[in-house]
């Protein structure tokens, strides 16, 4: 049962053998998180996920959330799971202790989240919604706001939402119409309508704190005039007790393709003229404040994608081992065999393994970079880690979720006709995973951020620091003799990636913005491919060094699996990545030159 969500052996390998996470305990900030404690945290998260969260997966899909009389009603099993998470203090695991969190390293939190998200991504969504807004209150809230909100949020007593999207303001939030009128007591009357608000209403918590983007009357148009407000479902008295109902209501929930455990709500604020909110942070800095949180949340979205892909892989692997169909090619006896022995099934399984394990390492690595930034000993060291982190955040969100969709589709393909019917789990995973490429900033927007902003800011230093970390790592692999050819192939790919980055930078600076942005998504793909290849090669190096010790290895198949997976990546994926980079360097502009009428359809 434990292996329907994630491979514990692989998680332990990444944490302890690849990233050596216990080294963080040498720093006072993480002194309590030695290897024994880390293993206990992951085991507890796995047990919680299997006992309380995973049983809600099918319930959430088939029963889901219901909307009645301006309220969202969740299944009873959700409330049981929520209470279990409250008792275990799982709502702010990597927030600072002084703010009410557990103070856990981000790397360890990523591993714990793998199990809980993989058990039911939709049920875990309101948990993550508490984490992000709570972080903004920590950073930008007044002492009074911190005292009123943080404890109840970080214990799961209250929930949170992010109210961003409006009917006419989606990816471009600069034209939103929600307005705030100043009251004499310093509060604001909020008026507006929001859509696609995840968990805009639910009955898991006694109150919900909405983070609302709006424009104070008289503020400048555009992004520079947007502020951020705290709008509680129930008003909060000065002593922290709940007061009367605030004028913010859910007016309906969307009937979605999947992700049914999370209600996507349309919301109205101030429909009766009495929606009261308080300013969070300085006026007119709402978007910049929100994006501080979005960076963290986008990394979690990447973990969502990897976790669902991990589950899809394990289901497909188990099915392939048990499903008897066909005979081995060339067998004159035509003896029926498990389908895992068929070449095309092995090709798909290897692709699933390669991407799932590569993206797991990538996401845990990004979390580890955040931990290392927070424990850095010099300003330059901290700057390097911060630059790498910021460069890779859109990759964590976009690349990983795009690949997760592919992995879930492959899982369904391995199940064949069974995978297409609701009796089997792959059908739900395919429907659930797709939303990850759309919400929290579509993957196209993430690609524009990576190419148009992260590549360009600080004179390209983020990109150079990222390449520097990859090259430094590859240099350290050269003591392993029989993978030198793969290291050289990676070095050539990194050099070519640098040339691609320089090409896109020149294109932007030359004023041909449309041609540059035409290749933003391909640039995202090649950066992600390089990350996966690097991570898998790193894994193979660890395995090779393990064998080189000459000591007995209790699970040699696991380590040989790392070596074969890396070889598959180096010989089948990396050449395709090189071709993708050649396409970017060629920069065909035909998609921009074609006329609207020439697309046809009229």
Task: Calculate the alpha carbon distances from 553 to 17, 417, 537, 542 in Å.
Answer: 14, 40, 20, 13
**Are 4 and 315 spatial neighbours (Cβ–Cβ below 8 Å)?**
yes
Of 439, 492, 353, residue with least CA distance to 122: 439
The number of angstroms, rounded, from the C-alpha of 545 to the middle of its chain's C-alpha atoms is 31
Taking a C-beta distance cutoff of 8 angstroms, is the pair 156, 130 a contact? Answer: yes
Dist CA 466 CA 400 (whole Å): 18
Active site residue 440: yes
Asked if 573 contacts 529 with a C-beta cutoff of 8 angstroms, the reply is yes
In three-state form (DSSP H/G/I as H, E/B as E, the rest C), the secondary structure along 16-30 is: HHHCCHHHHHHCHHH
> Distance (Å, rounded) from C-alpha 400 to C-alpha 446?
12
Rounded CA separation 404/524 (Å): 15
Q: Which residues contact 305 (CB under 8 A, 6 or more apart)?
A: 359, 400, 401, 403, 404, 405, 433, 436
Take residue 578 and report the two structure tokens written for it.
């090189």
Q: Which helix (H) or strand (E) holds 314?
A: helix 286-322
First-to-last C-alpha distance (Å) of the chain: 53
CA atoms within 13 A on the CB side of 391: 27
Nearest Cα residue to 555 out of 72, 12, 2, 1: 12
CA gap 231, 213 in Å, rounded: 10
Tokens matching residue 439: 């919400």
Report the alpha-carbon angle 444-425-56, nearest 5.
90
Q: Tell me the C-alpha distance between 150 and 240, whole Å.
A: 11
What is residue 594's DSSP assignment? S
Is the CB of residue 121 less than 8 Å from the CB of residue 310?
Answer: no
Name the DSSP class of 465: H
Rounded to an integer, what distance in angstroms lies between the CA atom of residue 157 and that of residue 89? 11
Alpha-carbon distance of 401 to 276, in angstroms, equals 37
Nearest to 231 by CA among 103, 112, 133: 133
Rounding to the nearest 10 degrees, give the CA dihedral for residues 190, 195, 199, 202: 70
Which residues does residue 194 pair with via DSSP β-bridges, in sequence order?
A: 267
- Say whether 560 sits in a helix, a strand or coil: helix
Catalytic residue among 22, 166, 440, 469: 440
State the Cα–Cα distance between residues 314 and 505, nearest whole angstrom.
41
Strands 242-245 and 234-236: antiparallel
Beta bridge partners of 324: 338
Q: Any idea which residues carry the catalytic annotation? A: 440
């Amino acid at each position: 049962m434990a292996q329907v969500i994630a491979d514990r052996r692989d998680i332990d390998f990444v944490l302890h053998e690849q990233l050596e996470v216990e080294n963080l305990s040498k720093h006072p900030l993480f002194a309590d998180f030695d290897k024994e404690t880390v293993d206990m945290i992951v085991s507890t998260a796995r047990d919680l996920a299997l006992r309380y969260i995973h049983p809600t997966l099918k319930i959430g899909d088939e029963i889901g959330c219901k909307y009645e009389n301006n309220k969202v009603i969740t299944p009873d099993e959700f409330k049981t799971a929520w209470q279990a998470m409250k008792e275990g203090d799982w709502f702010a695991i990597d927030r600072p202790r002084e703010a009410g969190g557990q103070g856990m390293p981000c790397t360890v939190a990523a591993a714990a989240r793998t199990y809980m998200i993989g058990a039911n991504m939709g049920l875990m969504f309101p948990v993550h919604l508490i984490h992000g807004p709570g972080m903004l209150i920590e950073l930008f809230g007044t002492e009074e706001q911190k005292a009123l909100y943080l404890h109840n949020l970080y214990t799961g007593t209250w929930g949170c939402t992010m109210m961003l999207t409006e009917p006419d303001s989606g990816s471009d939030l600069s034209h939103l119409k929600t307005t705030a009128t100043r009251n004499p007591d310093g509060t604001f009357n909020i008026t507006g309508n929001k859509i696609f608000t995840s968990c805009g209403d639910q009955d898991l918590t006694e109150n919900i704190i909405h983070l609302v983007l709006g424009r104070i009357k008289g503020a400048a148009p555009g992004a520079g005039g947007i502020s951020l407000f705290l709008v509680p479902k129930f008003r909060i008295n000065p002593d922290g007790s709940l007061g009367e109902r605030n004028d913010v209501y859910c007016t309906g929930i969307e009937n979605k393709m999947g992700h049914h455990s999370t209600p996507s709500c349309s919301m109205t604020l101030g429909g009766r003229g009495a929606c009261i909110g308080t300013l969070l942070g300085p006026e007119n800095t709402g978007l910049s404040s929100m994006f501080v949180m979005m960076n963290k949340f986008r990394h979690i979205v990447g973990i969502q994608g990897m976790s669902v892909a991990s589950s899809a892989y394990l289901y497909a692997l188990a099915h392939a081992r048990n499903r008897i169909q066909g005979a081995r090619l060339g067998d004159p006896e035509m003896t029926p065999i498990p389908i895992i022995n068929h070449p095309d099934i092995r090709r798909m399984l290897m692709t699933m393994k390669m991407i799932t394990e590569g993206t797991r390492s990538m996401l845990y690595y990004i979390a580890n970079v955040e931990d290392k930034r927070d424990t850095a000993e010099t300003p330059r060291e901290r700057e390097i880690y911060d630059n790498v982190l910021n460069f890779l955040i859109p990759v964590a969100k976009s690349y990983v979720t795009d690949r997760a969709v592919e992995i879930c589709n492959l899982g369904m393909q391995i199940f064949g006709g069974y995978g297409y019917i609701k009796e089997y789990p792959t059908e739900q995973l395919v429907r659930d995973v797709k939303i990850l490429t759309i919400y929290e900033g579509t993957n196209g927007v993430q690609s524009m951020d990576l190419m148009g902003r992260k590549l360009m800011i600080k004179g390209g230093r983020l990109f150079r620091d990222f390449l520097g970390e990859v090259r430094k790592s590859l240099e350290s692999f050269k003591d392993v003799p029989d993978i030198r050819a793969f290291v050289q192939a990676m070095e050539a790919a990194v050099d070519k990636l640098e040339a691609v980055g320089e090409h896109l930078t020149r294109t932007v600076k030359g004023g041909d913005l449309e041609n540059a942005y035409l290749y933003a998504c391909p640039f995202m793909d090649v950066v992600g491919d390089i990350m996966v290849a690097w991570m898998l090669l790193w894994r193979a190096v660890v395995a090779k060094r393990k064998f080189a010790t000459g000591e007995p290895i209790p699970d040699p198949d696991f380590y040989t699996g790392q070596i074969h997976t890396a070889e598959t990546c180096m010989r089948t994926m990396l050449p395709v990545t090189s071709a993708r980079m050649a396409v970017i360097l060629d920069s065909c502009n035909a998609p921009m030159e074609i006329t609207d009428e020439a697309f046809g359809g009229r």
